[in-house]
Amino acid sequence: MIDIIVPMYNAQGTIEKTLESILKQNTDKTINIYLIDDYSDASYYSVLEKYKKLLNIHYYRLDKKSGPGAARNYGLDISDGRYIIFVDADDMLEDNAVETLYDAIEGNHSDIVRSSIQEIGLHGNRIVKNWNISLHGKIYRRSFIDNNKIKFFDSYSNEDMAFNMLLRLYGAKMSNIDNVTYRWFYNINSIYRKNPDESRIRDFHDITINTEKALSIAINFNCSKELIELISLEQIIQIYIRWIYMDKSKIDICVNESIKEICEVYLKFKQINMDDLIKKYNLIYNYDDYKKNELERFIYQEK
């Protein structure tokens, strides 16, 4: 059985296309859809009436607005399928997505399968392959999540990044397929994109705080030193690239402290040359463009 968990907040205008894409799945597998309403302003009654006879829909409404991480955690707690797929309420699955992902995770005996996704945004379309950060285009083995007690953090952004980071730090077996299984739509009306400056600051804050929390959990549970080294450097690069363009006066003191702690984690577990690590894992494509000396000064907290 496969559970599809869909967090929703004021998604009355988009959720039907999401459900239509699930309805079109070419699979004989049992699919249960868990719609987790994050205290939306309006009712989904008409949508539920339309689709409840066509799909195995389970609808739950949270008693206060709690964010996408909390909604997904609720979905994880109340569902029980062997495999989990997360879908956002303004996105779509490709017609063969469920069957393709299921065959891959069963055939490869993996804990996570990462496929390619189609991003449909402000500046056209692009195909993104096997992205670590998002939940899009992935299927998860529930037993690995449950056995390691992995949950989403309660931030309003980058909670999916931290969730995937924890899975990797705990040593989840991953496999990749090139198939496009997911269509991600840039939603200009999202409350998180209405103010780009605030969004940029919030994203920077959340990616930093969530990274520190995930690494702390990994250290406390004695996760692989090699994985901690790799993933801490990955995240430092992500943070550094954002930091370059940030108005430094708007970075909260606690965020600066978290950056320092993340860098200290990397330096504590650093076993091989940074150039070798970046080359081995292809962390960024044009390393020289990010000025190696400046990146190293950032890691060592040198002025």
Q: Are 88 and 119 in contact (CB under 8 A)?
A: no
pLDDT value, residue 132: 82
Strand partners of residue 138 = 114
Closest CA to 89 of 12, 180, 189: 12
**Beta carbons of 206 and 157 less than 8 angstroms apart:** yes
Rounded CA separation 204/200 (Å)? 6
Average pLDDT, the chain: 93
Q: Is 132 helix (H, G, I), strand (E, B) or coil?
A: coil
Strand pairing category for 112-121 and 138-141: antiparallel
Angle CA 273–276–281, to nearest 5: 125
| pLDDT at residue number 288 | 67
pLDDT at 237 over 70: yes
Query: pLDDT band at residue 303, thresholds of 50, 70 and 90?
Result: low
Q: With bands split at pLDDT 50, 70 and 90, how would you rate the model's confidence at 299?
A: very high
CATH H-level, domain 2-185: superfamily = Spore Coat Polysaccharide Biosynthesis Protein SpsA; Chain A (3.90.550.10)
Is the pLDDT confidence value at 62 over 70? yes
Domain boundaries, the chain: 2-185, 196-299
| Range from 4-8, 37-41, 184-188, 204-208 carrying the lowest mean pLDDT | 184-188
Residue 192 has pLDDT above 60, yes or no: no
pLDDT, residue 283, reads 86
Cα distance from N-terminal residue to C-terminal residue, the chain: 54
**pLDDT at residue 138, as a whole number:** 98
Is residue 284 very low, low, confident or very high in pLDDT (cuts 50, 70, 90)?
confident
Share of the chain above pLDDT 90, in %: 80
Q: Is the dihedral of CA 169, 171, 177, 181 positive or negative?
A: negative
